[in-house]
Amino acid sequence: MPMRIGHRGAAGYAPENTLASFRKALELGCDGVELDVHMTRDGHLVVIHDPFLDRTTDRKGLIRDLTLAEVRAADAGGWWGPEFRGERVPTLDEVIELTAPAGTRLFIEMKAGSIHYPGIEAALLEAIRRHRCQDRVQVSSFDHHGLRRLRELAPDLSLGVLYLCHPLDPVGMARAIGANALHPAWYFVTPEVVQAAHAAGLEVYAWDVDRPEAAALMRMAGVDGIIADYPDRI
């Protein structure tokens, strides 16, 4: 059976990428959680999907232009419901620490590399090494240049290639980067892609799978993990 991985925690049940959402994923018994990382102006890694606060908090502004204190001043839960008012944008450290007791796998999406966030690859590696959690972490990104930089810095770090298209040769793309896994949107997954990936020693993690019929297709295709907002429904 594929791993059950909570998308942005358990984003169908709590405000995405908050500690409340990650706690819900743990409560549901997820094998892993997916999360998104940006870097603040003063070099801190924070867990939020968008490059700005606007959609999921009560404040505005680009993460790269704000300090950690400014990001943490935003309410990241009230937009979802009054019971979540006061939730903050968590740091990567907080999510690593929250998930450590259960040994939950972490699928960390680096939203952009050094072109957008100078030094983010080194900062991400520093956090992973400081918490000694490399054995339960896989870093993914749509920024394939950033993934190559991570591979240069950390030959043993598990990497996943995110894509939202039909690449002519997904296995070749992953090999060129030195990645360990493919992370396609679920509707680009076919049994043939999974078979080719497995033959090359690559894992396949499909996202964002929330319909039971889509989850059934992913299981039939043989993926290694299913990333979902409602991980208990897959």
Catalytic member of 38, 49, 144, 145: 49
Four-residue CA torsion sign, 119, 75, 136, 196: negative
Structural domain spans, the chain: 3-233
Give yes or no: 49 in active site.
yes
Please report, to the nearest 10 degrees, the dihedral formed by the alpha carbons of residues 68, 74, 80, 85 taken in order. 110
Residue 202, pLDDT above cutoff 90: yes
User: What region, left, alpha or beta, does residue 186 occupy, with left being phi > 0 and alpha being psi -120 to 50 degrees?
Assistant: alpha
What percent of the chain clears pLDDT 70, i.e. is strictly above it?
100
SS3 108: strand
Tokens representing 139 are 């870093």
Give yes or no: 198 in active site.
no
pLDDT of residue 49: 98
Please report, to the nearest 10 degrees, the dihedral formed by the alpha carbons of residues 190, 195, 200, 204 taken in order. 50
**If one looks up domain 3-233 in CATH, what number appears?**
3.20.20.190
What percent of the chain clears pLDDT 90, i.e. is strictly above it?
96
pLDDT of residue 166: 79
Tens digit of each residue's pLDDT (9 = 90 or more) over 2-54: 999 999 999 999 999 999 999 999 999 999 999 999 999 999 999 999 999 99
Mean pLDDT of the chain: 97
